[in-house]
């Protein structure tokens, strides 16, 4: 607990406005935390997808973990570029063995997955995993059902060695016909208080099993009429300010800096939606400094902010890799989601992204301290969830 308080205090100091430091130290020195080099700090900011149901020394993910210090990975059952299943998931035993191999390469690794329940379940019944309910269905049955689903999911993930779940969904069911939220029952409810309570239960149950939760998709995707997997989606005219309520309930207060008990052990994912109510410039939320600042400064969230998948059409169809990485960092994202599961697969994606970030640091576009601050937030979350 002392380590967490020291790290949290340092994050607060770094976030305060003041004169720029003349130099950034070569390594990050925080009691109880590793002393990251710049290369290691950059690696902490990368959440990477890969192909393979096991890890061999010839695989690029082996290289990425060993040489580029990647701090997080994400598992998928479906490989979008080829349209085939079995990308990382084929059976219970196989997933458990894969996680053990990954963690042997990096004991501090976050291994993530989208396991919301119902239609969004990477660990499906076809692979031998138990059937789960959608968020909407479980909420309709009552809070005990929500807790039961959350407990089932948390226990299953922990038993496999997965310690990051991109759930629960905090989107409010404003538009029941939204193709990627309401239509497939990913939202708990149209009632903001019910959404907040259900999310709190999921975070509690997952934290109890050492699994990081991720609220998504900030600042709200529930009113959308389009699909950000395919292209840009503008929610300016449909978004309602009440969609912020679940985040307001679970994020720390800007006045006190205290995180509600239900909000510990979580990160927040920014969406690829355009919302000119919050950012008149019309940047996707995941690349918007204004929207990230709203989450940090107005809602008081000082934890890890992760982008939605940067391979989705809303981003990859509009920006180059260099532009995307620069804009995500300038927006204030801590963790860049690089699924490598969009239109094409690139085994050299990590070296390319690392090269871009190092160039941004070298030319002064992004400061070293900015990189280290994100690495520190990520490390703080890892300490919080593991208890170490």
Residues whose CB falls within 8 Å of the CB of residue 304, separated by 6 or more in sequence, listed in order: 267, 268, 334, 335, 374, 377, 378, 381
β-strand partners of 193: none
Average pLDDT in the 172-188 region?
97
| 232-251 per-position pLDDT tens digit | 799 999 999 999 999 999 99
| 308-320 per-position pLDDT tens digit | 999 998 899 999 9
Asked, as a colleague might, if the bond just before 219 is cis with ω within 30 of 0, I would say: yes
- Choosing from 64, 77, 114, 308, the catalytic residue is 308
* Angle formed by the axes of helices 143-160 and 192-208, nearest 10°: 30
Question: Does 173 reside within a domain?
Answer: yes
With vertex at residue 307, the alpha carbon angle to CA 386 and CA 304, rounded to the nearest 5 degrees, is 35
How does the average pLDDT of the chain come out, rounded? Answer: 90
Q: The tokens 């948390």 sit on which residue?
A: 154
Q: Which one has a higher pLDDT value, 313 or 121?
A: 121
Question: Does 276 reside within a domain?
Answer: yes
Average pLDDT in the 120-136 region?
98
What's the pTM? 0.90
Q: Which residues in 289-324 are b (16+ Cβ under 10 Å) and which e?
A: eebbebbbeebbbbbbbbbbbbbbbbbbeebebeeb
Percent of the chain predicted with pLDDT > 90: 82
Average pLDDT in the 51-68 region?
97
Rounded Cα distance, 67 and 43, in Å: 9
State yes or no: pLDDT of 33 exceeds 60: no
Average pLDDT in the 349-361 region?
98
Rounded Cα distance, 377 and 375, in Å: 5
Contact 343, 81 (CB under 8 A): yes
Structure tokens at 44: 């902490």
Question: For the chain, what's the residue count?
Answer: 388
Nearest residue to 294 via CA among 309, 306, 279, 282: 279
β-strand partners of 49: 74
Which domain covers residue 11, as residue numbers?
Answer: 2-16+26-386
Rounded Cα distance, 250 and 266, in Å: 9
| 219-232 per-position pLDDT tens digit | 999 999 977 776 77
Question: Does 21 reside within a domain?
Answer: no
Rounded Cα distance, 242 and 174, in Å: 10
- Choosing from 39, 191, 227, 229, the catalytic residue is 229
Q: Which one has a higher pLDDT value, 173 or 312?
A: 173
Q: What is the DSSP string of 218-250?
A: ET--TT-SS-TTTS-EE-TTT--GGGGHHHHHH
State yes or no: pLDDT of 143 exceeds 70: yes
Torsion of CA 115, 119, 122, 127, to 10 degrees: 120
Q: Which of 64-68, 114-118, 204-208, 256-260 has the lowest mean pLDDT?
A: 256-260
- Look at the chain and report how many structural domains it folds into: 1
15 pLDDT tier (thresholds 50, 70, 90): very low
State yes or no: pLDDT of 37 exceeds 60: yes
Contact 158, 210 (CB under 8 A): yes
Question: Does 137 reside within a domain?
Answer: yes
Residues whose CB falls within 8 Å of the CB of residue 43, separated by 6 or more in sequence, listed in order: 68, 69, 70, 71, 354
| pLDDT recorded at residue 320 | 95
| pLDDT recorded at residue 242 | 98
Question: Does 56 reside within a domain?
Answer: yes
293 alpha-carbon distance from chain centroid: 17
Question: Does 98 reside within a domain?
Answer: yes
CATH of residue 266's domain is 3.20.20.300
State yes or no: pLDDT of 360 exceeds 60: yes
Q: Which of 22-26, 40-44, 192-196, 286-290 has the lowest mean pLDDT?
A: 22-26
Rounded Cα distance, 196 and 287, in Å: 25
Average pLDDT in the 167-178 region?
98
159 pLDDT tier (thresholds 50, 70, 90): very high
State yes or no: pLDDT of 256 exceeds 80: no
Structure tokens at 328: 């995500």
> Is 229 an annotated catalytic residue?
yes
Rounded Cα distance, 10 and 26, in Å: 17
Average pLDDT in the 102-128 region?
97
Rounded Cα distance, 214 and 57, in Å: 31
| pLDDT recorded at residue 229 | 75
| 62-100 per-position pLDDT tens digit | 999 999 999 999 999 999 999 999 999 999 999 999 999
Q: What is the DSSP string of 285-343?
A: GGG-HHHHHIIIIIS---S-EEESPTTSHHHHTTS-HHHHHHHHHHHT-SBEEE-S-SS
Question: Does 244 reside within a domain?
Answer: yes
> Is 308 an annotated catalytic residue?
yes
| pLDDT recorded at residue 257 | 63
Average pLDDT in the 130-136 region?
98
| Residue 191 DSSP one-character state | S
Cα of first residue to Cα of last residue in the chain, in angstroms, is 9
């Amino acid at each position: 607990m002392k380590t967490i308080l020291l790290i949290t205090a340092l994050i607060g100091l770094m976030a305060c406005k003041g004169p720029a430091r003349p130099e950034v130290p070569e390594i990050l020195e925080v009691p109880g935390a590793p002393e990251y080099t710049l290369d290691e700090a950059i690696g902490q900011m990368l959440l990477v997808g890969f192909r393979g149901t096991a890890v061999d020394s010839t695989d690029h993910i082996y290289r990425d973990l060993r040489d580029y210090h990647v701090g997080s990975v994400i598992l998928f059952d479906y490989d979008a570029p080829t349209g085939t299943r079995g990308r990382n998931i084929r059976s219970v035993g196989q997933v458990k063995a894969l996680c053990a191999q990954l963690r042997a390469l990096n004991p501090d690794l976050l291994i993530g997955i989208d396991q919301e329940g119902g239609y969004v379940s990477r660990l499906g019944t076809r692979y031998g995993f138990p059937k789960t309910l959608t968020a909407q269905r479980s909420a309709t049955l009552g809070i005990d059902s929500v807790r039961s689903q959350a407990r089932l999911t948390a226990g299953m993930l922990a038993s496999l060695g997965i310690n990051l779940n991109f759930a629960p969904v905090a989107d409010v069911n404003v538009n029941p016909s939204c193709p990627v939220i309401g239509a497939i029952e990913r939202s708990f409810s149209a009632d903001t208080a019910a959404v907040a309570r259900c999310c709190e239960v999921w975070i509690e149950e997952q934290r109890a099993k050492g699994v990081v939760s991720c609220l998504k998709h900030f600042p709200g995707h529930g009113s959308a009429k389009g699909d950000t997997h395919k292209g840009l989606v503008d929610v300016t005219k449909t978004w309602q300010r009440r969609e912020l309520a679940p985040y307001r309930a679970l994020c720390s207060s800007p006045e006190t800096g205290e995180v509600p008990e239900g909000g510990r052990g979580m990160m927040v994912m920014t969406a690829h939606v355009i919302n000119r109510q919050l950012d008149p410039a019309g940047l996707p939320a995941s690349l918007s400094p204004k929207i990230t600042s709203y989450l940090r400064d107005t809602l008081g969230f000082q934890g890890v902010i992760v982008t939605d998948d940067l391979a989705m059409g809303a981003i990859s169809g509009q920006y180059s890799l260099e532009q995307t990485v620069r804009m995500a960092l300038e927006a204030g994202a801590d963790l860049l989601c690089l699924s490598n599961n969009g239109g094409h697969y690139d085994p050299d994606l990590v070296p390319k992204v690392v090269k871009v970030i190092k160039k941004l640091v070298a030319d002064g576009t992004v400061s070293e301290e900015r990189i280290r601050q994100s690495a520190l937030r990520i490390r703080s979350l890892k300490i919080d969830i593991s208890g170490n």
